[in-house]
A and B are shown apart, each in its own frame.
Chain A
Amino acid sequence: MSWLILALLVWLGGWALNIWLSRWDRLRAVRIAVPVIFGVTLLVVWEALVRGFGISPVILPAPSVVAQTFAASTDLLWIDFQQTVVKGALRGFTIGAIAAFVAAVLIDRSKFLTRGLLPIGNFVAALPIVGIAPIMVNWFGFDWQSKAAVVVVMVFFPILVNTVQGLNEASAMQRDLMRTYAANYWQTLFRLRLPAAMPFVFNGLKVATTLALIGAIVAEYFGSPTRGMGFRISTGVGSLSIDLVWAEIAVAAIAGTALYGIVAWIEKRVTFWHPSQRR
């Protein structure tokens, strides 16, 4: 009972603190503190509820137990992280992003490809991951190659659509100006249209980071070597190592946030001129 009261108090306390802090929302420190307080409150409430209700560890382990498991199995988590994120997701993401970018420029260049390739891109986007993953495992084997292939398929489309959209962003007036300067297609592309497209390209890249991670993890459900985050999550549930599963989920969350953050950071540097980046 005392745990439940604690949960209630911490929740109300965190809430009150954040409301009070939000008066100074112009301060950088406060903008960081508010979500941190929210997150910590959530963890403490989770811990207190699990203890208060005596929830079985095979249903939902307490965050403290997850943290202990995390600390005790860092070697394992690191091996899994390398297998899934570094080999599967990042390689797939890179290949998919470059392929989508090149395809977008080609599609933009010719009417023929616009009518031929874009519908295929739409079709690929509609493919369910659970449908393509087993096929990719069959084609590319059980190791990271098949996971990268699934990621390529998953990230290709959002980047393609966004880039095609972005390439049409430069207005007719701006393009006419380039013509009066006697600029050829490539000069117009590199000096005007690609820079103008960057906010869109980055939008596609940001969506793709999360997709890449999901794709690499889920693809491991359909056959994998005995390492990888998806492998550990799917088999951990079966052997009731739920604490390890949550530790992997924590790694996935951190990795996903970090990837997204890196892309957002690059975007800030590249599209500094765009209204959305103004302070």
Chain B
Amino acid sequence: MKIKATLAALSLTATSAWAADDVTLQLKWVTQAQFAGYYVALEKGFYDEEDLNVTIKPGGPDIAPTQVLAGGGADVTVEWMPAALAAREKGLPMVNIAQPFKSSGMMLTCRKDAGVETTADFPGKTLGVWFFGNEFPFLSWMSQLEIPTDGSEAGVEVLKQGFNVDPILNGQAACVSTMTYNEYWQVIDAGLTPEELTIFKYEDNGVATLEDGLYVLEENLEDPAFEDKMVRFVRASMKGWKYAEENPDEAAEIVLEYDETGAQTETHQKRMMGEVAKLTAGSNGALDPADYERTVASLLSGGSDPVISAAPTGAWTHQITDKALN
């Protein structure tokens, strides 16, 4: 490992040996334990060891990572695969270079008192769904269940859920979209007990799609200097992720330090890190082609309104992880 890093440093040109390479990372959402690996790598100096000067840009409700990448505002972005593949089909050639998250944390959380026990209970109910590129897994799931999402008698009424779980609390929706590591706990904190809730994990329903991968623009990968930068970035990031998995509490505290909004609480972040660790546990950073195929199959089965119309080619590569992890 050390030798490799030294060799990499030696192979660099004289100029870059003096100045660390700049890398800008655009997160998918606000600063929270969902991105702990990157903050840990920054705080613990894993990026410095790789001679990288990394800037982490938090996302938010009005930031589309795909657009930031297209506009040149970031070198690499954290994005969900459905949104990345949809962007690819729209003419933005994004490529997955690493996949720190093995499993999906997405689920639909429903109230039992609204009469939802199984997926057969969905028709006629109102469901809260996130949009902004996060609606794709839900839409492909519904089309697999053959439930229309137009609010008809046999279908479900879809609400564009905001950035909170209010609709399930005040009875405006029977179910809301939640992440295992974040919004689910907001529902619990709001006073509903796990016994009162039915949970549909996308993983358990066979419609899980890959989340929180690292994406770059295809044309940049052809540049050896950029490729080398990404190899080092992925290596340091994965080191950060594994450290965060082993020391979840410390990782959560590091995230809190970097949260400039001051909106996050320690309890919530520690809990989130515990849940996120379960999702990253199965991955060394390299994308498993079988997971990719499953994601694509799930998106293609979109019935009348598929998320992507054709199986993409070249949407992922092991070019970076092969060099970074061996």
Q: A17 on the interface (CB 8 Å rule)?
A: no
B67-109 with Cβ < 8 A to chain A: 67, 70-71, 83, 86-87, 90-92
Query: Contact mask B277-301 → A, CB, 8 Å, 1/0?
Result: 0000000000000000000000000
Q: Which of B66, B131, B164, B170 contacts A240 (CB 8 A)?
A: B66
Choose the segment among B18-26, B110-118, B153-161 that binds chain A (4+ C-beta atoms closer than 8 Å).
Answer: B153-161
Report whether B86 and A141 are in contact in the complex, using a CB–CB cutoff of 8 Å: no
The minimal Cβ–Cβ distance linking B146 to chain A, given in whole angstroms, is 18
Choose the segment among A117-125, A182-190, A231-239, A269-277 that binds chain B (4+ C-beta atoms closer than 8 Å).
Answer: A231-239
The number of chain A residues touching the other chain, given as a range, is 20 to 34
With known contacts A234-B132, A237-B132, A56–B151 Cβ distance under 8 A: no
Q: B198 on the interface (CB 8 Å rule)?
A: no
A225 to B151, CA, bound (A): 10
Q: B135 on the interface (CB 8 Å rule)?
A: yes
Q: A224 on the interface (CB 8 Å rule)?
A: yes
A266 to B277, CA, bound (A): 64
Q: Which of B134, B149, B158 contacts A238 (CB 8 A)?
A: B134
Q: A64 on the interface (CB 8 Å rule)?
A: no
With known contacts A142-B159, A226-B149, A226-B160, A58–B83 Cβ distance under 8 A: no
Q: A223 on the interface (CB 8 Å rule)?
A: yes
The minimal Cβ–Cβ distance linking B262 to chain A, given in whole angstroms, is 19
B191-247 with Cβ < 8 A to chain A: none
Report whether A142 and B66 are in contact in the complex, using a CB–CB cutoff of 8 Å: no
The number of chain B residues touching the other chain, given as a range, is 20 to 34
Q: A138 on the interface (CB 8 Å rule)?
A: yes
Q: A59 on the interface (CB 8 Å rule)?
A: yes
The minimal Cβ–Cβ distance linking A150 to chain B, given in whole angstroms, is 14
Q: A52 on the interface (CB 8 Å rule)?
A: no
Q: A100 on the interface (CB 8 Å rule)?
A: no
Q: A134 on the interface (CB 8 Å rule)?
A: yes
**What is the interface of chain B, defined by CB distance below 8 A to chain A?**
62, 64, 66-67, 70-71, 83, 86-87, 90-92, 131-136, 149, 151, 157-162, 164, 166-167, 170, 172
The minimal Cβ–Cβ distance linking B278 to chain A, given in whole angstroms, is 27
A6 to B51, CA, bound (A): 47
- The chain B residue with its CB closest to the CB of A223 is B162
Report whether A142 and B131 are in contact in the complex, using a CB–CB cutoff of 8 Å: no
Q: Which of A58, A137, A234, A235 contacts B90 (CB 8 A)?
A: A58
Q: A222 on the interface (CB 8 Å rule)?
A: yes
Query: Contact mask A50-81 → B, CB, 8 Å, 1/0?
Result: 00000011110000000000000000000000
Query: Contact mask A187-230 → B, CB, 8 Å, 1/0?
Result: 00000000000000000000000000000000010111110000
Report whether A134 and B162 are in contact in the complex, using a CB–CB cutoff of 8 Å: yes
A114 cross-chain contacts in B, Cβ below 8 A:
none
5 nearest A-B pairs in the assembled complex, by CB-CB distance: A238-B132, A235-B131, A238-B133, A240-B90, A223-B162
Q: A41 on the interface (CB 8 Å rule)?
A: no
Report whether B159 and A224 are in contact in the complex, using a CB–CB cutoff of 8 Å: yes
Q: A241 on the interface (CB 8 Å rule)?
A: yes
Report whether A239 and B92 are in contact in the complex, using a CB–CB cutoff of 8 Å: no
With known contacts A141-B172, A235-B131, A58–B67 Cβ distance under 8 A: yes
Report whether B157 and A58 are in contact in the complex, using a CB–CB cutoff of 8 Å: no
A141 to B71, CA, bound (A): 36
Q: Which of B86, B91, B160, B170 contacts A57 (CB 8 A)?
A: B91
A184 to B86, CA, bound (A): 70
Q: Which of A141, A235, A240 contacts B135 (CB 8 A)?
A: A235
Query: Contact mask A140-160 → B, CB, 8 Å, 1/0?
Result: 011000000000000000000
The minimal Cβ–Cβ distance linking A169 to chain B, given in whole angstroms, is 43
The minimal Cβ–Cβ distance linking B192 to chain A, given in whole angstroms, is 17
- The chain A residue with its CB closest to the CB of B164 is A134
A250 to B7, CA, bound (A): 56
- The chain A residue with its CB closest to the CB of B65 is A238
A187 to B289, CA, bound (A): 82
Report whether A138 and B134 are in contact in the complex, using a CB–CB cutoff of 8 Å: no
B70 cross-chain contacts in A, Cβ below 8 A:
56, 58-59, 240
Report whether A223 and B83 are in contact in the complex, using a CB–CB cutoff of 8 Å: no
- The chain B residue with its CB closest to the CB of A56 is B70
With known contacts A134-B162, A223-B160, A223-B161, A240–B134 Cβ distance under 8 A: no
A224 to B162, CA, bound (A): 9
A220 to B160, CA, bound (A): 9
A231 to B151, CA, bound (A): 16
With known contacts A239-B83, A240-B86, A56–B91 Cβ distance under 8 A: yes
Report whether B86 and A235 are in contact in the complex, using a CB–CB cutoff of 8 Å: no
A235 cross-chain contacts in B, Cβ below 8 A:
131-132, 135, 160
- The chain A residue with its CB closest to the CB of B87 is A240
A234 cross-chain contacts in B, Cβ below 8 A:
62, 131-132, 160
B83 cross-chain contacts in A, Cβ below 8 A:
238-239
- The chain A residue with its CB closest to the CB of B217 is A56
Q: List 15 A-B contacts (CB under 8 A).
A: A56-B91, A58-B67, A138-B166, A141-B172, A142-B172, A224-B160, A225-B151, A235-B132, A238-B83, A239-B86, A239-B131, A239-B133, A240-B70, A240-B87, A240-B133
- The chain B residue with its CB closest to the CB of A134 is B162
